[in-house]
Structure 1
Amino acid sequence: MDDPDQGGSRRPAIAGLAIAVVLLVTGLWLAHELTAASKMQDCLMSGRTNCNVIEPAR
């Protein structure tokens, strides 16, 4: 079953996995930023003048 001649490196697989993780994280960050921008635009388009995000006190 195991062929000792096929001692392929796992480096390409790990590199592919790392690229996939980077793309996933970038996509999630971009979706979050676009959602925040959309909410801000909706607030401004409704005619409000105070659309600042209020941070809770820590």
Structure 2
Amino acid sequence: MSESDDGGSRRGALIGLLVAVVMLAVGLWLAHDLTAASKMQDCLMSGRTNCNVIEPAR
């Protein structure tokens, strides 16, 4: 095996790892966003008119 073959193999593995990390990050963001939307819908469906999130004072 030459050095160029080994570098190409590592490059492909790193690209695959990068794609997997990006997909994981997008999946986590999407799950968080869908959870927030679900909570808002639950609040609105219960008949409340003020469903804003109250941030605690710091």
Shorter chain as normaliser: what TM range? 0.7 to 0.9
Give the percent of matched residue pairs that are identical in Structure 1 and Structure 2. 74
For the aligned residues, what is the CA RMSD?
1.1
Q: Where does structure 1 lack aligned partners over 5 or more consecutive residues?
A: none
Partner of 2:44: 44
Give every structure 1 segment of 4 or more consecutive aligned residues whose post-TM-superposition deviation is greater than 6 Å: none
The structure with the largest helix share of the pair is 2
TM-score (norm 2): 0.85
User: Aligned residues, how many?
Assistant: 54
Q: Return the TM-score normalized by structure 1.
A: 0.85
Unaligned runs of 5+ in 2: none
Instruction: Please name the residue that 2:56 is paired with.
Output: 56
